Amino acid sequence: MTGRQLIDGPRATVARARPSAPRSGRRPLGRTGRPVETALLPGERGARLFAGPPAAAGAEPLAEHETRLGPLRPPPSPSAAEEEHCLELVKEAGLLGRGGGEFPLWWKLETARQASLSSGMAPIVVVNGAEGEPASRKDRTLLELRPHLVLDGAAFEAACVGASEVVVYLEPDRLASVAAVVRALEERRRAGAPDPVFRLEDAGGSYVSGETSAVVSALETGRPLPHRRPKPAAVSGVSGRPTVVSNAETAAQAALAARFGAGWFRRAGSESCPGSSLVTLAGAVAVPGLALEIVAPTPGAELLERFGGLDLASGLPKAVLVGGYAGRMVSGETFCTSHVDRGLLRQAGVPLGCGLLAVLPDTCCGLAVTCRLLTYLAAQSAGQCGPCVFGLPALVDDLRALVDGEGGRRTLRRLARRAVSIAGHGACGHPDGAVGLLESALALFEDDVRAHLRGRGCDGDASAGWLPATPPR
Amino acid sequence: MSPGGRTSRPTSWQLVLDPAACDGHGICALLFAERIGLDEWGSAAVRGGPFSGRVMLRRARRAVAACPAAALRLAVVPSAAPARPTAGAAPAGAHEQPQ
């Protein structure tokens, strides 16, 4: 039995229900000559992860899910050849992690499989649904609407590495997504799906709890603390077992690649990051927290007008924060003229990260918003490393002084010097992310900085209403 | 293995710091200033690249042994770094471990 035969449904059904995806690159044209939509809401034609019923219908039941896509049934006792076939498929698909690190999934799977073969320890698969980014909604939206796709992906990953245990790592307070997953697991159990053993685990409710080493630590000790480990989790993770930690969206993408093949998978996205991507539109937009699926590079302006409800003719937003609170600030103009796509954005030095696109309105002070986000990031430190515990609050103090009009060029220079001394010196990437945000903001909001240096204070921070800066729970 | 090179090839070493364990005692920076500095708040930071030679190795060993928090480790620099992937499609500059 080959990996392709893992799909044991009526092929015709699969082919008919196969979500169509435009080829990457330029804006594709449909059969009628009209451009095909490349940014899609749940239930819209052309979507991949979001294909199926619209958001209002809630979680897609198992029966509907399997009629639409055909069942994905990992064999009860996969052989080595099948595992290799599945791994080859993931490698060909070129699926990169969607949690922020954009790390290739095949490497994690391959490494975990090899490590398990050589050490004899049972591997474990973790679906990471922690989504600690306060403004991000894409993972929980996916879990709420398409829980079976995520669970399929986890089962497929487990089949790739020969794991019989899968952990779904969730925030227990997000009742809608937890309920969807629990109900989905119950449906699968009743349907008698030959799944691995699924287990729900508490993600611990902090900004850093989704970081891979923090996930491992949460599963070992109950506390999500990032660690600098001598070996990657795929080699030695939870209690020394090879551990594959992948984002919920990554798992769902793997489930689609497993069904429709690498060739189909690569037709969405771009060459350097194949496959569609989920993003969250947040900040000063019509519906903050709207999750969208991007199937091909889409102009930023189109996203803001069609889904953000912004009238760009009457003025551009001041900036867009790309990639999460530890992401990069991009000017409104640059964002509107560039294409939103994981691969293209990474090449431009603005990684899409967790998929957050947060709009800063023209009326706000970029420095004040940055100060607020940086304060949040400093407070969300796990409290382990000096550069994070002492460094980030020091950055916040300096930035606060600038915002209040009390800092001068000296403060600015010290800020830059401290930023350099902090980056790269923590056990995880948390301080680096905060420093990246600060540096991109100082470069972009030069005018705001200059105004503040002249001693003019700020007319208040307008971001409180539209960018949440509270812990995930 | 013999320390500091009775092996046929010259071995180079590097210090590995666990920043989560470092409590900022600062002893290491006194003992091995060539490779360890302290930041503004007293946390150790490894600087400079791999090193070799008996004198350097002795200082490094002393620094490792003196750390009350056991935050330092001495590691042999592998002659060829193990292959880390970029991606299935090999896009340049794929990130290291996800954050």
CATH number of the CATH domain containing B17: 3.30.70.20
Shortest CB distance from B99 goes to which of A211, A228, A421? A211
Please state, in angstroms and rounded to a whole number, the distance separating the CA atoms of residues A161 and A83: 7
Q: Which of residues 143-202 of A touch B (CB under 8 A)?
A: none
State whether A103 and B97 contact (CB < 8 Å).
Answer: yes
Do A257 and A379 fall within a single domain?
Answer: no
Measured between CB atoms, does B53 come within 8 Å of chain A?
Answer: no
pLDDT > 70? residue A361: yes
pLDDT of amino acid A29: 57
From A216, A234, A265, give the residue that closes a domain: A265
In a domain, A286, yes or no: no
CB-CB neighbors (< 8 A) of A226 in chain B: 20
In a domain, B83, yes or no: no
Please tell me which residue of chain B has the smallest CA distance to A392: B41
Q: How far is CA A84 from CA A114, A154, A159, A440, B85, in A?
A: 11, 17, 10, 43, 17
CA B23: distance to chain centroid? 17
pLDDT > 50? residue A334: yes
Kindly report the CATH number assigned to the domain that includes residue A104: 3.40.50.11540
Q: How far is CA A8 from CA A26, A38, A259, B58, in A?
A: 35, 30, 10, 64
In a domain, B89, yes or no: no
In a domain, B94, yes or no: no
Nearest to A220 by CA among A237, A199, A242, A233: A237
CB-CB neighbors (< 8 A) of B48 in chain A: none
| % of chain A surpassing 90 pLDDT | 72
pLDDT (tens digit, 9 = 90+) per residue, A233-272?
999 999 999 999 999 999 999 999 999 999 999 999 999 9
Do A373 and A229 fall within a single domain?
Answer: no
In a domain, A195, yes or no: yes
Buried b (16+ CB within 10 A) or exposed e, A205-227: bbbbbbbbbbbbbbbeeeebbbb
Shortest CB distance from A94 goes to which of B24, B88, B92? B88
E strand or H helix that includes residue A40: strand A39-40
CB-CB neighbors (< 8 A) of B92 in chain A: 272
Count other C-beta atoms under 10 Å from residue A78's C-beta: 20
What's the rounded mean pLDDT across residues A128-137? Answer: 93
Measured between CB atoms, does B78 come within 8 Å of chain A?
Answer: no
In a domain, B97, yes or no: no
Q: How far is CA B48 from CA A268, A410, B3, B21, B74, in A?
A: 43, 28, 21, 21, 14
In a domain, B38, yes or no: yes
Q: Write out residues in chain B with pLDDT < 50, as ranges.
A: 1-2, 4-5, 7, 82, 86-99
State whether A228 and B91 contact (CB < 8 Å).
Answer: no
Please state, in angstroms and rounded to a whole number, the distance separating the CA atoms of residues A254 and A142: 14
Shortest CB distance from A274 goes to which of B20, B22, B89? B89
Count other C-beta atoms under 10 Å from residue A361's C-beta: 18
Measured between CB atoms, does B98 come within 8 Å of chain A?
Answer: yes
In a domain, A148, yes or no: yes
CB-CB neighbors (< 8 A) of B97 in chain A: 101, 103, 212-213, 232
Measured between CB atoms, does A427 come within 8 Å of chain B?
Answer: yes
Please state, in angstroms and rounded to a whole number, the distance separating the CA atoms of residues B80 and A35: 50
Shortest CB distance from B95 goes to which of A101, A385, A426? A101
Do A258 and A400 fall within a single domain?
Answer: no
Kindly report the CATH number assigned to the domain that includes residue A374: 1.20.1440.230
Write out the residue range of the structural domain in which residue A385 sits. 366-457
The CA distance from A444 to the nearest CA of chain B, in Å, is 24
Range scoring the smallest mean pLDDT among A9-13, A221-225, A346-350, B94-98: A9-13
Q: Which of residues 241-300 of A touch B (CB under 8 A)?
A: 266, 271-274
Using a CB cutoff of 8 Å and minimum separation of 24, what contacts does A57-65 make?
A58/A144, A58/A145, A58/A180, A59/A144, A59/A145, A59/A146, A59/A147, A59/A180, A59/A183, A59/A184, A60/A145, A60/A146, A60/A147, A60/A148, A61/A187, A62/A148, A62/A184, A62/A187, A62/A188, A62/A191, A65/A146, A65/A148, A65/A149
The CA distance from B41 to the nearest CA of chain A, in Å, is 7
Average pLDDT, chain A: 87
Shortest CB distance from B94 goes to which of A96, A421, A422? A96
pLDDT of amino acid A115: 96
pLDDT > 70? residue A170: yes
State whether B88 and A232 contact (CB < 8 Å).
Answer: no
In a domain, B95, yes or no: no
Angle between helical axes of A430-444 and A366-379 (0-180°, round to 10)? 170
Angle between helical axes of A147-161 and A105-119 (0-180°, round to 10)? 40
pLDDT of amino acid B98: 39
Task: Provide the phi-psi class of A207: left if phi over 0, else alpha when psi is between -120 and 50, else beta.
Answer: alpha
CA atoms within 13 A on the CB side of A452: 28
| Residues near A314 by beta carbon (within 8 Å), at least 6 away in sequence | none
Please state, in angstroms and rounded to a whole number, the distance separating the CA atoms of residues A399 and A442: 10
From A265, A300, A333, give the residue that closes a domain: A265
Do A118 and A235 fall within a single domain?
Answer: yes
What's the rounded mean pLDDT across residues A44-56? Answer: 93
In a domain, A30, yes or no: no
pLDDT (tens digit, 9 = 90+) per residue, A6-32?
333 333 333 333 334 444 445 555 556
Please report, to the nearest 10 degrees, the dihedral formed by the alpha carbons of residues A326, A331, A334, A335 taken in order.
Answer: 50
Tokens of A465: 């209403």
- How, if at all, do strands A39-40 and A290-294 pair? antiparallel
In a domain, A137, yes or no: yes
Range scoring the smallest mean pLDDT among A389-393, A422-426, A459-463: A459-463
The CA distance from B12 to the nearest CA of chain A, in Å, is 18
What's the rounded mean pLDDT across residues A369-378? Answer: 93
How many secondary structure helices (H) and strands (E) does chain B include? 2, 4
**Number of domains into which chain A is organized:** 2
State whether A104 and B87 contact (CB < 8 Å).
Answer: yes
Beta bridge partners of A254: none
**Number of domains into which chain B is organized:** 1
pLDDT of amino acid A202: 93
| Burial class of A133 by CB neighbour count within 10 A (0 to 12, 13 to 18, 19+) | buried
Please tell me which residue of chain A has the smallest CA distance to B23: A386
Shortest CB distance from A272 goes to which of B20, B89, B97? B89
pLDDT > 80? residue A49: yes
Work out how many CB contacts closer than 8 A connect A with B.
Answer: 115
pLDDT of amino acid A427: 87
Angle between helical axes of A248-265 and A80-93 (0-180°, round to 10)? 80
| Burial class of A13 by CB neighbour count within 10 A (0 to 12, 13 to 18, 19+) | middle
pLDDT > 80? residue A288: yes
pLDDT of amino acid A175: 93
pLDDT (tens digit, 9 = 90+) per residue, B26-52?
999 999 999 999 999 999 999 988 999
| Burial class of B86 by CB neighbour count within 10 A (0 to 12, 13 to 18, 19+) | middle
Measured between CB atoms, does B52 come within 8 Å of chain A?
Answer: no
Write out the residue range of the structural domain in which residue B23 sits. 13-76
